[in-house]
Structure 1
């Protein structure tokens, strides 16, 4: 497998049209990865909301968390 630097060097030697095809393919790949991550975060958020609504977990108010942090890490 080529290293990142080798891939970049190879890409730099491509004609502009071919480089555009490579860049487009990479961007589509990254978009798919982002979509997968977004789906995972959505599933986590839905699960956490269900836990809150069912009473399985209890939310701690943001002010309480900030107060604890300020006591623990005074400025």
Structure 2
């Protein structure tokens, strides 16, 4: 019997961030694996991931990012 969606989601959300990101990549690729837009988004996401991993870019907590965005548009 298949696992109910809410149970599966709860289980996935307990995984470490890197594993959740890999699952997200697989899910996104499953929608339009051959589209140019999909390839561009995946390339951008992978580049940004690599920049964070290398230390070239530092991640900002969500609430701080929102504060910065609000300040720019106010």
After TM superposition, is the score higher than 0.5?
no
Question: What's the TM-score, normalizing by structure 2?
Answer: 0.45
Question: What's the TM-score, normalizing by structure 1?
Answer: 0.44
| More relative contact order, 1 or 2 (CA 8 Å, 6+ apart) | 2
More helix per residue? 1
Rg larger for: 1
